Amino acid sequence: MTYLLHIFILIGIYIILSLSLNLIAGYTGILSMAHAAFYGIGAYIAALMALNFNSPFILNLFLAVIGSSILGALVGIPSLRIKDDYFIIATFAFQIIIFNILNNLVSFTGGPMGLPGIPQPVIFGIKISSHFSFLVLTAILCAITYFICNKIVKSPFGRILKAIREDEVFTKSLGKNVSAYKVKIFMISSGLAAISGVMYATYITYIDPTSFTLMESIFIISIVIIGGAGNLKGSIVGAVVLVMLPEILRFVGLPNSIAANIRQMLYGGLLVVFMLWRPQGFIGEYSFNRNNENG
């Protein structure tokens, strides 16, 4: 039972991550390779606040969201002036920079040794320590994130994001400040990604830079693409499928070293299959290869 609860908690964390990335990748048509960086920033802000100042969970969560959003703006303002492959390269570089900062700033982040002993959340006097209580908290944050994302994509703001995705030049011709909309959604997406970081840090009670690598960003992108870009429910489907998939390998009886390699092969294979034969994913409304053909 504990094992299943653990899997469900991880699914919830990745649902939040994929929902937040879907806002910029699926609804705005901007593919970012730096989402794990914002995930990690949220985790480190919450962990450092809790360890150094013993500050409450709600405050740590708020500061993590704000801090990640601000950094998202600092990255987004210069990076979003470039397009397509150049933007992907820019976010790739940012991901590598953040990883190296976390890995080398030993006196502040603990470096490769990480940050152990992160306090578990206490909300209104209730300590969240059991797997079930963590699952409930994760489910609540998932519901809040989905509600926020749903409100955004169904609002006039969301319709402009879709217009940018379909034809950026035409959207500019209508008098819309495309750059401003891109920066705003990048900030929102970065802030929401930080929620997952806070949950991960307080659930595992230990973080190190290896949890927020480029491979993690690629995994989050895989969830969005396979589940369905441009559809919030696709983020849920993708998270369930890709988090559960490696767990199935445990029942095959393969050694962990071999299972890890097979897992990466499965992810890569699924991406190739979906990009070739179903680029919109399981239930997506947007196809990345269609965008490239039109561009």
* Average pLDDT value for residue range 270-287: 82
123 beta partners: 126
pTM for this model (two decimals): 0.93
pLDDT of res. 189? 96
* Average pLDDT value for residue range 55-76: 94
Q: Is residue 240 part of a domain?
A: no
pLDDT of res. 294? 41
Please state, as a whole number, how many other Cβ atoms lie within 10 Å of the Cβ of residue 242: 22
pLDDT of res. 257? 67
Of 59, 16, 53, 58, which Cα lies nearest the Cα of 38? 16
Domain count, the chain: 1
Contacts of 159 (CB under 8 A, 6+ apart): none
* Average pLDDT value for residue range 70-93: 84
Q: Is residue 147 part of a domain?
A: yes
Q: Is residue 278 part of a domain?
A: no
- Kindly indicate the confidence band of residue 163, based on its pLDDT and cuts at 50, 70 and 90: very high
pLDDT of res. 1? 81
What range does the domain containing 196 cover? 2-209
Give 92 or 271, the one with higher predicted confidence. Answer: 92
Task: Kindly report the average pLDDT of the chain as a whole number.
Answer: 90
pLDDT of res. 273? 83
Q: Is residue 205 part of a domain?
A: yes
Q: Is residue 152 part of a domain?
A: yes
Ranking 70-84, 152-166, 212-226 by mean pLDDT, the lowest is 70-84
Residue 24 has pLDDT above 80, yes or no: yes
3-state secondary structure of 95: helix
Q: Is residue 16 part of a domain?
A: yes
**Long-range contacts for 176-185 (Cβ within 8 Å, ≥24 apart)?**
179/80, 179/81, 181/28, 181/157, 182/28, 182/30, 182/76, 182/80, 183/73, 183/76, 183/77, 183/80, 184/157, 185/23, 185/24, 185/27, 185/28, 185/152, 185/161
- Could you report the per-residue pLDDT of 209-249, keeping only the tens digit for each? 999 999 999 999 999 999 999 999 999 999 999 998 877 77
- Could you report the per-residue pLDDT of 87-105, keeping only the tens digit for each? 888 899 999 999 999 999 9
pLDDT of res. 255? 66
Q: Is residue 59 part of a domain?
A: yes
* Average pLDDT value for residue range 35-57: 96
Q: Is residue 113 part of a domain?
A: yes
